[in-house]
Structure 1
């Protein structure tokens, strides 16, 4: 507790007390920090001068409490900030006056998630509640709600990408009222669970259904966004590192297909959600020009997932062979080549989606990169020149023998695959 610190200045006491409680610090952490002249001076200047107007406390990787006048670029744990409401010295009369002069709170180490919660729980309700903009023109209100929804969707997508996942945002449309879907009594069809009554932007279909055109537009906009997201996943090619002039190892190929399979399974699961099915039904009923695109997205994901699952399943047995080759001394790796190429032959003969020259060539190039890497490390120039000449020549000869063994097994497997 801050009482243990014997702090006379109420302003400093207020901040120390909040920090110790919020960050669950031992009092000696504070004592150690203020013993550093620069840290102590920052706190005093914040209290006694108009500038700085912000200080941030956090625990650094070494486990020490530190203070700065700006937000840190990265955090390993929670931080606390104190910001002046006005650029003036803090009054020291009472803790209540200190608290009223400051905006203070906690900063999560997961900044994107905190921002997403802030937008969802604070910004959106504030800006989309009708009572807050009764005097605004309808065009302004509608445009504002659209931009808030776009911001929510973008935050969801970015947050999921940071976590290594693909999230397809759903249309955000008039979330202030809800009802069930019905079509025969003049109620607006709305598959997301939201409804607008007395809406002038409605149309009747041939079977008497009433379709909300604004909702159709919202769904169409989301389909366009989905298309861009999914295309980014589908167009990724395991050969790209080679095309970029890099020297990837075969483990890169295995990780690529494992990751692509995971992303496509996640996307497929989202596309099979009942809400998405209702969105498709809405596009179909409204004769939307985006309905074929919606179907094409589902079809492309289905075929791409089949391919990724097939390739990932067949490539996984090779990971053990590559790991053994990478961790074994190259001069002792001759016996590893034959079983490795045998499994490659089995993959080529049994994996329908990998039995093409473009696929297998990428894998073979990456295997060659690994072999060259192992051979180069075995023939490190400084080590060769340090030793005896005869020993160096013997090592070179044995390395060439291992390379020849690799080449022979490669040619044997190639002939079988032809």
Structure 2
């Protein structure tokens, strides 16, 4: 193998090679095999030399081969590495680190984005010290938008897995202490805490309503002829989703939320209680429906 300092070695290729191999924990022979295919080598060369090509993505295919492309492909089961030019133009070997944005992307982009929002973006943007010089209105608006983003990502991540996840209000980790204080003196309880909980009850009610209104006949309305297997899967998934919601209602933090609403005689407490009852009734009703469906589709039709 030629040394890095050899004139025959393009240091720009070497930079990309080192990052790809280190990030993906691969041996150099994988990179050599990648460059042995002229079309793939040309993709990297064009990215380095041509201003029109601003993105390079290197990913592993099902056979374990490195494949470079000019953009993000669809679903991938393996980690990918990306390089994005900060400015259009050819790249210089001396400024690769400063002229490029580069990193790795998980095979589950939504989970990676969720982790980024939860562990990086939210802590930075919600830290009061980072916007101490901002106007109060701007600071509060940013906090609301960040919390809304966290909730949306949390809900979507659950939907991808077939689950209805109920986002908790900001500061939920302090709910237990707040509940204890409210038992001592109601006048010391911050009314903003109740307002946040009430807002979350409204959001949950919309989510649960969407779950409860789903019907196994929906495929028919879309012109699809559902098979018995699809019917069974519908009820199985519905039961699992309702069980997931019920388990969330039983969590200590949600129980504290209910206690606070009850203690403060909130007008939203009956709605909270009704939501729980609706979920419990739907779950118990599905047990009987599930038995009927199972009997109907497992007994041979004569």
How far apart are the structure 2 equivalents of 1:278 and 1:231? Answer: 23
Question: Which position in structure 2 is the counterpart of 1:80?
Answer: 81
Question: Which position in structure 2 is the counterpart of 1:212?
Answer: 190
Query: Residues 60 and 153 from structure 1, CA distance in 2 versus in 1: closer, same or farther, beyond 3 angstroms?
Result: same
TM-score normalized with structure 2 length? 0.88
Match of 1:270 among 235, 245, 248: 248
Kindly report which structure 2 residues correspond to 1:327-342, keeping only aligned pairs within 5 A, or say none: 336-337=300-301
Query: Residues 209 and 259 from structure 1, CA distance in 2 versus in 1: closer, same or farther, beyond 3 angstroms?
Result: same
- Bigger CA radius of gyration: 1
How far the C-alpha of 1:183 sits from its partner, in A, is 6.1
Bigger relative contact order (CA 8 A; separation at least 6): 2
How far apart are the structure 1 equivalents of 2:217 and 2:172? Answer: 45
- Tell whether the 8 Å contact from 1:173 to 1:218 is kept in structure 2 after alignment: no
Match of 2:275 among 297, 302, 307: 297
Query: Residues 129 and 73 from structure 1, CA distance in 2 versus in 1: closer, same or farther, beyond 3 angstroms?
Result: same
How far apart are the structure 2 equivalents of 1:127 and 1:174? Answer: 18
User: What does the per-residue CA deviation read over 1:356-381, in whole Å, with 9 as the maximum and x for residues that have no partner?
Assistant: xxxxxxxxxxxxxxxxxxxxxxxxxx
- Tell whether the 8 Å contact from 1:2 to 1:20 is kept in structure 2 after alignment: no
Structure 1 stretch displaced more, 263-272 or 22-31: 22-31
How far apart are the structure 1 equivalents of 2:131 and 2:196? Answer: 22
How far apart are the structure 2 equivalents of 1:215 and 1:308? Answer: 36
Question: Which position in structure 2 is the counterpart of 1:115?
Answer: 113
Kindly report which structure 2 residues correspond to 1:5-404, keeping only aligned pairs within 5 A, or say none: 8-93=9-94, 97-173=95-171, 180-181=177-178, 189=182, 208-321=186-299, 336-337=300-301
Where 1:180 maps in the other structure, the secondary structure is: helix
How far the C-alpha of 1:316 sits from its partner, in A, is 2.8
Query: Residues 101 and 174 from structure 1, CA distance in 2 versus in 1: closer, same or farther, beyond 3 angstroms?
Result: farther
How far apart are the structure 1 equivalents of 2:177 and 2:259? Answer: 15
- Tell whether the 8 Å contact from 2:176 to 2:256 is kept in structure 1 after alignment: no
- Tell whether the 8 Å contact from 2:117 to 2:150 is kept in structure 1 after alignment: yes
- Tell whether the 8 Å contact from 1:2 to 1:27 is kept in structure 2 after alignment: no
Question: Which position in structure 2 is the counterpart of 1:373?
Answer: none
How far the C-alpha of 1:277 sits from its partner, in A, is 1.3
Where 1:80 maps in the other structure, the secondary structure is: strand
- Tell whether the 8 Å contact from 1:171 to 1:219 is kept in structure 2 after alignment: yes
How far the C-alpha of 1:60 sits from its partner, in A, is 2.6
CA-atom RMSD in angstroms: 2.8
How far apart are the structure 2 equivalents of 1:242 and 1:47? Answer: 53
Query: Residues 270 and 179 from structure 1, CA distance in 2 versus in 1: closer, same or farther, beyond 3 angstroms?
Result: closer
How far apart are the structure 1 equivalents of 2:270 and 2:289? Answer: 29
Structure 2 gaps of 5+ residues are: none
Number of residues of Structure 1 aligned to a counterpart in Structure 2: 300
How far the C-alpha of 1:3 sits from its partner, in A, is 7.0
User: What does the per-residue CA deviation read over 1:44-66, in whole Å, with 9 as the maximum and x for residues that have no partner?
Assistant: 23323444232110123454321
How far the C-alpha of 1:14 sits from its partner, in A, is 1.4
How far apart are the structure 1 equivalents of 2:289 and 2:110? Answer: 34
How far apart are the structure 1 equivalents of 2:2 and 2:152? Answer: 42
How far apart are the structure 1 equivalents of 2:2 and 2:165? Answer: 44
- Tell whether the 8 Å contact from 2:179 to 2:260 is kept in structure 1 after alignment: no
- Tell whether the 8 Å contact from 1:55 to 1:69 is kept in structure 2 after alignment: yes
How far apart are the structure 1 equivalents of 2:289 and 2:176? Answer: 45
Question: Which position in structure 2 is the counterpart of 1:377?
Answer: none
How far apart are the structure 2 equivalents of 1:268 and 1:58? Answer: 41
How far the C-alpha of 1:141 sits from its partner, in A, is 0.9
